[in-house]
Amino acid sequence: MLLYILKRVLSAISVVIVTLVASFALFFLAPTDPAGVICGPRCTPERLADIEASLDLNEPPINQIGAYMKGIVVGREYSSGGTVRECAAPCLGYSYTLGQPVTKLLGAALPVTISIVLGGAVVYLVVGILTGTIAAQVRGTSLDKLVVGSTLVVQSIPYFVFALLVALYATFLPDSGYHPFTDNPLTWASGLLAAWLCVGLTNAAAYTRYSRASMIEALGQDFVRTASSKGISRRRVVYRHGLRAGLTPVVTIFGIDLAFQLTGAIFTESIFNLPGLGQLTLRAFGQYDLPVLMGGVLIGSVVLVVMNLVVDIAYTFLDPRVRLG
């Protein structure tokens, strides 16, 4: 098991490195002029040369990547206009448009996004799995049809429209905004409530459908019939025997969903004015802030490989028949 995890971590690191090199190549070697963009309209040739030098843009690409990687491990310095800016390890570059190291920017944005996504996940897991399980038990009845119909309606509404509707009509919710959890957990939660409900309810539709299908299959299994024949309560049959089997496939979907939500909460963050990763990278995109974009890519690839690993390991706990190795 430990050996397996070690192997997976090593391969995860190599995936991240390949992603980094590939996106580096795409961003920095593209026929664009990052120095010019940073320099702005009132640019002098001296200033342009200075910026190019500070970004290593004159160096061959291989050296640029080397410097970037080295910066991640030991940190580096950026000198521009005579001043030297310290960028401590793990240095992911320096954002000239924001005047801050990328690591610091990501460090500020990541807790916001994680708060949104995890809070939303609690909502959609609870709502989705419960509704799906109930619908599976009353399969074919009008209640079941109502549930399935509602999920279709919710899923048919584009996400940003749903989020806008929540923002426009759910005015009774506390004002949206990010306050660090460590300052005051209550204000943290109230500022995120609207975003949680929005992420939670839209995704709950999908999870209702997954859980319903999964539970219908699980409840039809022979071992559920065996459980009924033991004389335990119907509730215990459904929630202990059925749900235990029915949830396993849902966990796989959840792991991957979570990874995508962590990297793609742009709409939620923009509409509810939360300074998370999505907003940070979207802004960076508009301003051609390459170091920040690179940082976003790095976070995204790390989250994705980590979540995949977590799902695989979680499986060994969920299903005793699965042995990793």
Partner 1 sequence: MSDQSIQAPHTVSRVPRTPAANEEAYLEVSDLQVQFPTADGLVRAVQGLSYSVPLRRTLAIVGESGSGKSVSSMAVMGLHDRRVARIAGSIKVGGREIVNMSDKELEGYRGGDAAMIFQDPQSSLHPYFTIGDQIMESYRAHNNVSKRKAKDRAIDMLGRVGIPNPRRRVDQYPHEFSGGMRQRAMIAMALVNDPKLLIADEPTTALDVTVQAQILDLISDLQRDFGSAVVFITHDLGVVAEIADDILVMYAGTAIEHGPVNKILGEPLHPYAWGLLESIPALTGEPQPLHPIPGSPPSLLAVPTGCPFHPRCEFKDRVGGDLCTTLKPDLIPRTGDLGRTSRCHLKEPDKVFETEVLPRLP
Minimum gap (Å) between residue 230 Cβ and partner 1: 4
In the complex with partner 1, which residue's Cβ is closer, 8 or 139? 139
Of 7, 25, 226, 239, the one binding partner 1 (CB under 8 A) is: 226
Sign of CA dihedral 17, 23, 27, 30: positive
Among 55-63, 229-237, 277-285, 294-302, which window interacts with partner 1 (CB under 8 A)? 229-237
Tell me: does residue 235 bind partner 1 (CB under 8 A). Answer: no
Among 33-41, 53-61, 151-159, 219-227, which window interacts with partner 1 (CB under 8 A)? 219-227
Amino acid at 269: E
Tell me: does residue 320 bind partner 1 (CB under 8 A). Answer: yes
In the complex with partner 1, which residue's Cβ is closer, 7 or 225? 225
Of 42, 156, 230, 325, the one binding partner 1 (CB under 8 A) is: 230
What SS3 class is residue 272? coil
What SS3 class is residue 95? strand
Please tell me the distance from the alpha carbon of residue 223 to that of residue 215, in angstroms, as a whole number: 13
- How many residues bind partner 1 (CB under 8 A)? The answer is 20
Q: Which two tokens stand for residue 141?
A: 């009845």
Is residue 95 a contact partner of residue 287, using CB atoms and an 8 Å limit? Answer: no
Q: Which two tokens stand for residue 11?
A: 């391969």
Minimum gap (Å) between residue 250 Cβ and partner 1: 14
Tell me: does residue 324 bind partner 1 (CB under 8 A). Answer: no
Among 88-96, 207-215, 223-231, 255-263, which window interacts with partner 1 (CB under 8 A)? 223-231
Tell me: does residue 227 bind partner 1 (CB under 8 A). Answer: yes
Tell me: does residue 221 bind partner 1 (CB under 8 A). Answer: yes
In the complex with partner 1, which residue's Cβ is closer, 221 or 287? 221
Please tell me the distance from the alpha carbon of residue 256 to that of residue 314, in angstroms, as a whole number: 13
What does the chain come to in residues?
A: 325
Tell me: does residue 232 bind partner 1 (CB under 8 A). Answer: yes
Which H/E stretch holds residue 291?
helix 290-318
Q: Which two tokens stand for residue 220?
A: 């039809």
Tell me: does residue 228 bind partner 1 (CB under 8 A). Answer: yes
Tell me: does residue 321 bind partner 1 (CB under 8 A). Answer: yes
186: buried, middle or exposed (CB in 10 Å: 19+, 13-18, 0-12)?
exposed
Under 8 Å CB-to-CB from 64, ≥6 apart: which residues? Answer: 24, 28, 56, 57
For residue 154, what are the CA distances in angstroms to 68, 144, 197, 222?
44, 16, 13, 34
Is residue 86 a contact partner of residue 161, using CB atoms and an 8 Å limit? Answer: no
Minimum gap (Å) between residue 246 Cβ and partner 1: 11
Among 100-108, 157-165, 218-226, 281-289, which window interacts with partner 1 (CB under 8 A)? 218-226
Tell me: does residue 225 bind partner 1 (CB under 8 A). Answer: yes
Of 10, 149, 233, 324, the one binding partner 1 (CB under 8 A) is: 233
Under 8 Å CB-to-CB from 143, ≥6 apart: which residues? Answer: 134, 135
In the complex with partner 1, which residue's Cβ is closer, 6 or 143? 143
- CA 179 to chain centroid, in Å, comes to 19
Under 8 Å CB-to-CB from 273, ≥6 apart: which residues? Answer: 176, 177
Tell me: does residue 244 bind partner 1 (CB under 8 A). Answer: yes
Tell me: does residue 245 bind partner 1 (CB under 8 A). Answer: yes
Tell me: does residue 241 bind partner 1 (CB under 8 A). Answer: yes
Among 147-155, 158-166, 239-247, 287-295, which window interacts with partner 1 (CB under 8 A)? 239-247
Q: Where along the sequence are the contacts to partner 1 (CB under 8 A)?
A: 221-223, 225-234, 241, 244-245, 318-321
